[in-house]
Structure formats: C-alpha cells, structure tokens
Structure 1
Amino acid sequence: MEILEVGCGEEGNLFPFAQMGCRVCGIDISKNRISQAKSIYRQRNISAEFVCSDMFEYDFHSRKFDVIICHDVIEHIENKNRLIILLHHLLKINGIIFCAFPLWQMPFGGHQQICRSWMLSHSPFIHPLPTAVYRRMLILFGESKECVSELLAIKKTGLSVEKFRALIKSGSLDISQEIFWFINPHYQQKFGLMPIKLHTITKLYYLRNFLPPHTGAY
C-alpha cells in the first residue's frame, strides 16, 4: 500500500503506516520540516520518503497512491480547486483521501494562536474583522511582518463546511464519511484531551461553522 501525506510534519500521520510496512511519502515546501522528518525516521531505522517541494511543481512520475492524507493543509491553499484536481489525479481507483481542517469561522479558525502576543493568541473571533482593522491590530500588538503576512493569507483562504462540500463536488469526488469534532483526535496526542464528536450541531446550517470542530472527509 502506498501512502502520501501532503504538508507533512516531523512525523506527521505517516509513522503508523510506515511501521506496518507501507510505502510512505511525505511532501512539504518547508526544508526544516522535511529535514526533521528525515532525521526522526533515520533514528528509528524506518524507511520513508520525504520530498521538499511545492506540491504543484513536483513530478510524481505517474505514481498513484492508495491513501492521501491532507491534514491542516487545505485551508492554507489559495487555489483549492487546483489542489483537489491534483489529489484526484494522484489517487488510485477506489483510493481514499483524508482531509481535515479547522473551519474558518470557528473561534481560532484564523490561527491567531501563533501570535507572539499573549492577548492576541488567546483572543477568539478576531480574524473575521475587516482586513484593514485586523492588520492594524496585529501590527499594534507587535507581530512580525512574517506573522502578519501568514495570518492575512489564512484569512484570505479560510474554508467553511459549505465551501468544502462544493469543492469536493466540483472535483468529481464523493464524501463517503464526514465527522465533526468538538475536540478532534489530534489534540489527544498534542494536549492529552479526549476526542469529542459533534452530532446535532452538524444539522444546523451555517451555525456549525462557528463552533470548534474539524471536519474530516474520506
């Protein structure tokens, strides 16, 4: 089985698959993240392939994958249609794409937790402010040019449930399973929090975007 992770972290989500003997490949534009991933896998003597490249520029040489993991990546991509088309092209027949992302309207959907300022990093719902106001606030609180640029880029490319569903439909893909989390499983590993699913709220059109779920589609 061949597994591809787009925007892989140091270990990302590939490690369990690598342990099972799957052929795994991680691609990320960050040299540091790729370097760290290679180092960790070498230390553990586990075979894995890591590529430092822009996803849209890399030549996969007609490779196809059984599973493609796209975790906390799609909300950063401006041309989401292009990404979905590429992922579909890289997917084997009957393959699976796992896509998880924070909804734009949720309390920290703007990723403001990366701010250096304690106040901004702990302030929910500041990212939907008008762009000019949001930029000025970030600058006044001493955020670096790089941080301001990243947060404004995220504001521009944020994603909602409705936009995601339309995106999948336009890419000729089907959602076979969709899960909303109040506390998603990723936080169990990072913060020791037990995962909690959302059920009833998923039926409330638009309002569901303002609570803190991630949506996972297979």
Structure 2
Amino acid sequence: MSLEHHKNATLRYQQQVDNSRDYVVPFIQQEFPRLEGLRVMEVGCGEGGVLTPLLEKGCHCVGVDLAPARIELARSFLGKYETTGQLKLIAQNIYDVDFLGAFRNAFDVIILKDAIEHIPDQEKIVGHLKQLLTPRGQVYFGFPPWYMPHGGHQQICHNKFLSMVPYIHLLPRPVYRGVLRMFGEENDIVSELMDVKSTGISIERFERIVKRQGYKITRRRFYLINPIYKYKFNVSAREQWKPVAAIPYVRDFVTTCMYYMIKPA
C-alpha cells in the first residue's frame, strides 16, 4: 500500500520539516547548542525538509543529492535561501574530486537522515566524510535498523497485505523476490526493495564500521517508535526501553530507529 507521502512531495517535505524541528535538530543541539553560523551539509537531502529548521536558525547549509529532480524539488521549497547565499543545492556525487576540493574540512555537521541504509559500501562513505569535517565536526546519522519489523521498506509495496507484513524482508533473497512477484509488485518496486536488502544496516554493523573508520560515538538514541511515525501515522515517538537497548542483536529486531552523532577519534 503506497502511502500518500510517497506520492505527494509537499506532504513529504512538511513531514521532514516537522520531524527535523522536533527531533533531529534538538538531538544535534546536544552537541552543538549554538546553531547560528554552523556549517551544515546533508547527504541525500531530497526535498530539503531536514535542512529547513537549520536554515531558520541561521545555519549555512549545503544540500547534495545524486538526483537532479530531487534538487529541483528542494529548490522549489527553499529557493529564497539560495538567493540570499545561505544555502547551496548541488546534484553531485560527494566522491567527485572537485566536490572534495570545494568542501574539504568545510562542515561542522554532516547529516545522513534515512540515507545510510540505501548506500552501497557504507564503510567507504563513513571514512570519506572525515575529509569534509572541520576539526570540531561531527556526523549525524538517523536510520531504521535492518532487522526491525519494516527495515526493508516494504511499506512502499502497492499490495496492502505485503506493505503491512513485518519481517518479510528477512526472507532469503530468492524467496523474498518470489513473494513480491507473486503478489503482483511491479518491477521497479521489486528492484528497489532488493536494493535495500543489499544495503540495509544493523546497529551492530554500523557501530563496527564507525569504530574501524576511526570515529567515536558521542551520542546515540534508540527509538522503539520512530519519531517520523508521529507525522506519517499519528503515533507518538517513544524511546526504546533501556534494558532492551543494552542487549546487542536482540535490540535490532525491536528498535525502529537509531540516532547517532559521531566524530573522528
């Protein structure tokens, strides 16, 4: 069952704005209490909703996305900030040499919100981001752990039953693909879900990558109920019960969202 926000860019943008204002920005402020003048980049910025509250508070922002169409959408919502020079919107790969040349050691905060679980070679990008941080810089990550009930993003399925079935994404690849096709999912949906199955990331794997790439975790938060559900489904956010959050692997299956701040050790 494809939800309204999957089709409605304005609704999706506003949900991002509200979630960022109420949850993402206050989390970042625990490490950076003074936001005015902070230099911020979002990787995979989409419509730009996450950056909007930061722009409102006086941050200087760069939004980068591989999809030019998504950058144009962001421009339609945030064009006034581009006009004043407070925002740059760029359709580019952050691995490009000229991007690194323009933004080496440029950002106090780099944001990957609902992005890392879609990126191949997560080890590479986590390591690469160090080159873009200022000496005091940190990276914010927010993502759904792979093993949680809908960690495979199966909610994008057109079939209502499939979109609601928890843990179906944990089936072996051939079985999962076969089930999707049996229920009539279109090729583009099947392809997207199989891509997510290849790149989905668990809490344990993320923290191993962070450690191997020479970062330390400065702050993390486990959510039993993802804050974005407040805006998508009218269900209040709820942090994970601390005894559950302390149990490796078990917590992956019942934690619907993780927030992290990390910085080079």
Equivalent position to 1:59, from 99, 104, 122: 99
Q: CA separation in 1, counterparts of 2:233 and 2:175?
A: 32
Report what 2:55 is aligned to: 18
Report the number of matched residues: 218
The C-alpha deviation readout for 1:12-35, integer Å capped at 9, x for no partner, is 311111112221111111222211
Equivalent position to 2:150, from 83, 90, 108: 108
Equivalent position to 2:255, from 196, 200, 212: 212
The C-alpha deviation readout for 1:148-197, integer Å capped at 9, x for no partner, is 11111111111111101100011111101111001233333444432211
Amino acid of the structure 1 residue aligned with 2:243? T
Q: CA separation in 2, counterparts of 1:43 and 1:23?
A: 13
Does residue 94 (structure 1) correspond to residue 133 (structure 2)? The answer is no
Report what 2:3 is aligned to: none
TM superposition shift of 1:76: 0.9
CA contact (8 A) 1:182 1:196 kept: yes
Q: CA separation in 2, counterparts of 1:127 and 1:215?
A: 19
CA contact (8 A) 1:88 1:171 kept: no
Amino acid of the structure 1 residue aligned with 2:79? R
TM superposition shift of 1:3: 0.4
Q: Which 5+ residue runs of structure 2 have no aligned equivalent?
A: 1-37
Does residue 185 (structure 1) correspond to residue 222 (structure 2)? The answer is no
Equivalent position to 1:136, from 173, 178, 183: 178
Report what 1:165 is aligned to: 207
Equivalent position to 1:31, from 36, 55, 68: 68
TM-score by length of 2: 0.77
Does residue 6 (structure 1) correspond to residue 43 (structure 2)? The answer is yes
Amino acid of the structure 2 residue aligned with 1:146? D
CA RMSD of aligned residues (A): 1.7
Q: Secondary structure at the match of 1:181?
A: strand
Q: Secondary structure at the match of 1:201?
A: helix
The C-alpha deviation readout for 1:68-99, integer Å capped at 9, x for no partner, is 11111111111111100111111111212110
Q: CA separation in 1, counterparts of 2:123 and 2:48?
A: 27
Q: Which 5+ residue runs of structure 1 have no aligned equivalent?
A: none
Could you tell me the percent identity over the aligned residues? 36
Q: CA separation in 1, counterparts of 2:231 and 2:70?
A: 19
Q: CA separation in 1, counterparts of 2:230 and 2:133?
A: 29
TM superposition shift of 1:62: 4.3
* Greater helix share, structure number: 2
TM-score by length of 1: 0.93
